[in-house]
Structure 1
């Protein structure tokens, strides 16, 4: 799948996430886009695109978190039937967004996105290369 096709797939995901945050991207839709729910390259490249657009301020945390959660659930569905390892850096990027979902301080005075997600995404994107497994 070429870069333009991947941009189109990501645009579809963004449209779904922005239209209704409660609406989920179905695993069947991911499978159609990826060609296979266990397509490591698709998950890794899309995750990096999400992270890059977030870091550039093009996509909000909420949109990115929603997309990554939906991709995670699609991956889990494939994992049950195939027993394959989770692709990297997809999993690390998913984890960075997941880290922004909950407060660590009881009084909720912390900002988990600014304190955890933002620096983690910046660190991932600062690496000279992204080994993809």
Structure 2
């Protein structure tokens, strides 16, 4: 399974924990690196218009609990930039009470910054 296959399964709400392991094994990377690679691809696909905000946000909300489970079991810190990407999408989920579109004002600029440094 490759990253695009995994993202498709996440967006369709059909992914399973074993899918992450399978993808990491096929790519010859550890799970923390996979979390980053998947998150970066989700952000890139959103920024390029290949994924809607709704689908990208849903996908990151799918990656989040898997990453949390992994870091808690392995007693390691939050995986970056996965966490920063999750947080950027989170900023678009609610009204900031400033009259602006939260995706345009908060999510996209944060993603531009994270992707520039990824």
Matched with 1:83 is: 75
Matched with 1:109 is: 99
Name the TM-score, length of structure 2 as normaliser: 0.81
Rounded to whole Å, the distance in 1 between the matches of 2:77 and 2:18 is: 20
Q: CA deviation at 1:5?
A: 1.9
Over aligned residues, Cα RMSD in angstroms? 2.3
User: Which ranges of structure 2 fall in alignment gaps of 5 or more residues?
Assistant: none
Runs of 4+ in 1 over 6 A off after TM superposition: none
Rounded to whole Å, the distance in 2 between the matches of 1:51 and 1:29 is: 20
Number of equivalent positions: 114
Where relative contact order (Cα < 8 A, 6+ residues apart) is larger, the structure is 1
Higher alpha-carbon deviation: 70-79 or 88-97? 70-79
2:5 equivalent to 1:8: yes
Q: CA deviation at 1:13?
A: 2.4
Rounded to whole Å, the distance in 2 between the matches of 1:25 and 1:118 is: 26
